[in-house]
Amino acid sequence: MWCVIQVFTGKEEKMRRACLKYVDPDVLEDTFIPKRIRRRKYSGVWKDEECALFPGYVFMITSKPQELYDQLWRVEGLTKLLHVEKQILTLTDSEVEFMKRLGGKEHIAQMSIGFIVGDKVTVTDGPLKGLEGMIKKIDRHKRQCIVETDMFGQKTKMIVGIEIVSKE
């Protein structure tokens, strides 16, 4: 099961390491910060850099969510456990599949490539291929788009990299 904790934005990696330190390895199978590739221009040269897909959140994989919930209280600096009635909030199977499709094994959403004809976006390559209906807004200048999906029990927007190679 995939679980999510909320931490101070910018402290995700520090909290990920603290969770590995304070939570028993038989309870915490993996912990990661989903990331995305952001393309930026420095001195006229485009460079790819990684940044958090969900700033302020750390994801965890466990088969023992109740034990994880109990042990996470030992982690200093944790701002909020997403839970319902002392049960840690777990992602649904469809949310997990979406995250796996978006980020792959490395949990990094790569840049997608596509084109626009009229008002229709077509993604030809990358994690957004086939998910064009989830794209709500494209910023061609920044080479990114806003994708909206159901996650954490609500509509959630995330920024994902996209390169629009042509517009007609």
* Domains of the chain with CATH codes: 1-92 (3.30.70.940), 111-168 (no CATH)
Q: Is 5:16 a contact under the CB 8 Å cutoff? A: no
| pLDDT of 154 over the 70 cut | yes
In whole angstroms, give the CA distance from residue 59 to residue 4.
5
Look up the pTM and report it. Answer: 0.87
Query: Each residue of 69-116: pLDDT tens digit?
Result: 888 888 877 767 766 666 677 899 999 999 999 999 999 999 999 999
In whole angstroms, give the CA distance from residue 10 to residue 56.
7
DSSP 3-state of 72: helix
Query: Each residue of 12-44: pLDDT tens digit?
Result: 999 999 999 989 999 999 999 999 999 988 999
Which phi and psi angles does 140 have, rounded to 5°?
-65, -35
Strand order in the sheet with 144-151: 120-125, 112-117, 154-167, 144-151, 135-139
Report the run of H or E that residue 88 belongs to, with start and end. strand 87-88
Q: 3-state DSSP helix/strand/coil percent for the chain, to nearest 5?
A: 20, 45, 35
The gap from C-alpha 35 to its chain's centroid, in whole angstroms, comes to 6
